[in-house]
Structure formats: C-alpha cells, structure tokens
Amino acid sequence: MNLGGGSGFARIVSDDDSTLALAVGSEAGFKYSQREGSFFGRTRVGGVWMGGVGSEGQDLRLGTFFGQRGALFGYEIGVDLFENSLSTDRVALATSAGVDFPLRIIVGPKLLEGFVAFTPTILVEDSRRVDWEAAGFSAALGHEMEWSAGVAFRLPIVGVSVAYSERQVSGGRIQALRFGVEF
C-alpha cells in the first residue's frame, strides 16, 4: 500500500505576468516488485487543489506505472489518466480529461535517488491544446508537455522528496516546486 501527500508552490507564467498559488494534494495506491528481480510497479489515485490570489485549480488522477531498477540506474514509464482545470487572471484552462505518458529516469542508490522526467500529454478539450509554433517550439510531442527533476530520500517506512517541474500549457507555463511525503 502506498499513501502519500504533498504540497508546494506554483507560479503560472503568461507573457511577462505571473501568478503564485499554493498546491495541496494526496494520493493512495499500491506498490509491487519482483521478489528477486529488478522490475517494479505502482498504481495511484490522487488529487491536488491549487489556489491563490486570483487563481484556483484542481487535478484528479488515476495512473499505473512500471519500470526496472538496478543498483544505481532505473526507469519508469506509465499512463496517468486525469481531469483538471485552472483559472487565473491571465490563464484559463478549461476542464479537460487527458492522458499523461511519463518517462522517468532514476539515478543513484534507492536510499537517495535523483530523477528527471519528460511527460507528453494528450488532451480531450481542443481549447487546451498548445500551439507549439506560437509558443516558440519547432517540434513537440502531445498537446502539453512537462519536464521535472528532483531528489527523494527513501527510508523503509517513510520517504520524502522535493521536485521542480515546468509544464507548457496553452497561454503560458506552470512552474512548480513540490514537497512530498510517502508511507
């Protein structure tokens, strides 16, 4: 069983303007691994609420992830179904369902690991799709994209993590600093 939660700060950037928000979330799921092998996986259901002066958003998720982990290197891929929305003074992201396809590279021993991730997104709502040429990208995968990097300290009973992420959305970027606790 996997129980966790986290909070953090988000900065929603549109042109030269930005809005700050606080994000609070929780998730639950299952972790599994080979008894004498390097394959592992996890499932999750989770939610995040984000709010601040002139901003509010929500994100609900249901995902499954699978990977392989050696002593110092590993990877994880997955499918993360979601429904989310965000509204600020400058950026309005209509409620949309979608699917994230994260690829995460893990480096370091299991006790203290670093990670980087790249996540293309497919969205149902047409108005949410990024115009990649107007956003200054010559090539992109999906309707939105996110990259993130962080570190995690994992003890047998509890783990803590800190991560930075940046997601390109229609109308701007969401930059986030997240702190997590996992049991």
Cα–Cα distance between 164 and 183 in angstroms, integer? 21
Burial 103-135 (b: 16+ CB within 10 A, else e): ebebeeeeeebebebebbbebeeeebbbebeee
Q: What pLDDT shows up at residue 72?
A: 98
Share of the chain above pLDDT 70, in %: 100
pTM, full prediction? 0.94
Q: Is the pLDDT of residue 21 over 90?
A: yes
pLDDT for res 149? 98
For each of the domains in the chain, give its residue range(s) and CATH number, in order of start: 2-182 (2.40.128)
In the chain, the percentage of residues whose pLDDT exceeds 90 is 89
pLDDT for the residue numbered 16: 86
pLDDT digits (tens, 9 = 90+) for 158-182: 999 999 999 999 989 999 999 999 9
pLDDT at 63: 98
DSSP state letters, 98-158: EEE--EEEEES-TTEEEEEEEEEEEES-GGGS--TTTTT-S--SSSEEEEEEEEEEE-SS-
Confidence of residue 138 (pLDDT cuts 50, 70, 90): confident
86 pLDDT more than 90: yes
Tokens of 68: 């392989």
Mean pLDDT score across all residues of the chain: 96
pLDDT tens, position by position, 57-74: 999 999 999 999 999 999
pLDDT above 90 (res 90):
no
Question: Can you tell me the mean pLDDT for 117-127?
Answer: 98
